[in-house]
Amino acid sequence: MKVAVEETGPCRKLLKVEFAADEVQKEYDESLEVYAKHGRVKGFRPGRAPREMIRRQYDKQILEGLKDHLLAKGYQQAMKEHSFEPIAEMDLQASELKADQPFSFSVTLDVEPSFELPVYKGLDVEARNVEISDDAVTQAVDHYLENTGKYEDVTEARPVQMNDMVAVDYTATVDGQPMAEVSEKAKSLAEGRDFWVIVNEEYSFLPGFGPQLAGLKVGESKDVSVAFDAQAPIEELRGRTAVFATTVKQIRARAKPAMDAKLFESLNVKDEAEMREMFRGMLSREAEAQERSRRRSQLIDALMKGAALDIPESQAQSESHRIVYEMVEDNARRGVPEQEIRENIGKITESAQTAARDRLKLRYLLQRIAREEQIAVNDAEVTALMNAQAARAGARTPREWLQRAKLKEKAVRAAMRQDLLTSKTIDFLMANAKLSGDGAPQAEETEKAEEKA
């Protein structure tokens, strides 16, 4: 057997393998021997039929199995001689296989990148100290109270404000024609009496309707324009603008609950001071999580900046397609119109291609570092993560969760193992990073010493 490997591009090789006629014949004869012992020929007991009859009856099956065997043998020898790990194969070309003839094949392979690890210990990371100001706590408390307050009638003669709840009467037209005549399906939308609307964009029953009511007083009227996009549920309204002749009839505003014993009891605190400390703790945990995330991002940027490696093209394309799908799904979930997504698919694809290469580059770097530092994930850790995921999903067992989500356990375990390995490796890098700034341990110790002094 002759094996030749040619470099045809970054992470891409052309493998050529040749088997001499005598090698092919030897392998064929060995396979024929197996069929001679176990093959069935009418009129003969197994192992008793003439070899020529066995050959004629089973020649096709022998050659099919022999071809697979020679391909695998060529792969194995190439990997042994040239020390590479194929991750994708393309364009397999093979000669016709006959028992007494040479056999050759060639195949294009994408292989894992070969690269020198950059310095990964002592990476510079800025550590920022997390502090929660009294003003931030006050804002958090006010926000909570505003969101938990009940809507009450506004008795003063003031105009509608953002986040009010407003009762309106309205009649809709499209190009001067009553909406009910434009579409049968729009009848329920065409007219409203004592219809309550929240005056903000997030909860507006139609895009832009609620915010346009701000500034009106009870009894005042306004023509509210609403533009329907190409994805509007009612086909006759798509791409058209409707005018809602609207009159404000009543205003309600959210009243903050009183800062009293009832409120404190609902929050399981004894007084305002303890309530503020509770909110300070919540803000602190959130800020610390954000700071950890920022440090990890800076660490990863520093690691990536010092690394030079190519990415297998087939892998980059596959990952890019996956990211495009994720981005399109995310846009759709956020309510971005399909037409807008289609118009931006070029930008989405370009962004996905860059993200795919960065994601794969980081994956290869972390895998190599994990091997170098003997960082591993055991089965118990994967099982614990599966149990936690099942509990979050409200399932009694991981099996129940997998069945509900229609997931395969083997694939889920493999993905979780990879995620855990990535997390543990980044934790290792962070533990060995060179922290600077007011959030670094040395700076914190100095600050505490100064406070004591």
Domains of the chain from N-terminus onward: 2-111 (3.30.70.1050), 150-255 (3.10.50.40), 265-447 (1.10.3120.10)
DSSP assignment string, 201-258: STT-SSTTTGGGGTT--TT-EEEEEEE--TT-SSGGGTT-EEEEEEEEEEEEEEEPPP
- Characterize 186-212 residue by residue with b for buried, 16 or more Cβ atoms within 10 angstroms of its Cβ, and e for exposed: beebbbbeeeebbbeeeebebeebbbb
Average pLDDT score over the chain: 90
Helix (H, G, I), strand (E, B) or coil at 108: strand
pLDDT at 446: 47
Indicate if the alpha-carbon torsion angle 86, 88, 93, 94 is positive or negative: positive
In this prediction the pTM is 0.71
Percent of the chain exceeding pLDDT 90 equals: 70
pLDDT at position 72 over 90 = yes
pLDDT at 443: 52
pLDDT at position 66 over 60 = yes
Work out the number of other CB atoms within 10 angstroms of the CB of residue 347.
10
H helices of 306-344, in order, are 313-333, 338-343
Most confident of 69-83, 163-177, 328-342: 163-177
Residue 30 · residue 23 · CB < 8 Å: no
CA 11 from centroid of its chain's CA atoms? 26
Residues 276-333 pLDDT 10s: 999 999 999 999 999 999 999 999 999 999 899 999 999 999 999 999 999 988 888 7
Backbone angles phi, psi at 247, to 5 degrees: -125, 130
> And the tokens for 47?
């192992």
298 closest CA partner among 434, 441, 118, 152:
434
pLDDT at 12: 92
pLDDT at 241: 92
> And the tokens for 128?
């920022």
298 closest CA partner among 418, 419, 429:
429
Residues 189-221 pLDDT 10s: 999 999 999 998 888 788 889 999 999 999 999
pLDDT at position 90 over 70 = yes
pLDDT at 45: 76
pLDDT at position 445 over 60 = no
Under the banding of pLDDT at 50, 70 and 90, the label for residue 380 is very high
> And the tokens for 9?
């591009």
Backbone angles phi, psi at 49, to 5 degrees: -75, 145
Residue 54 · residue 32 · CB < 8 Å: yes
H helices of 83-185, in order, are 134-148, 179-182
DSSP assignment string, 175-186: TTEEHHHH-GGG
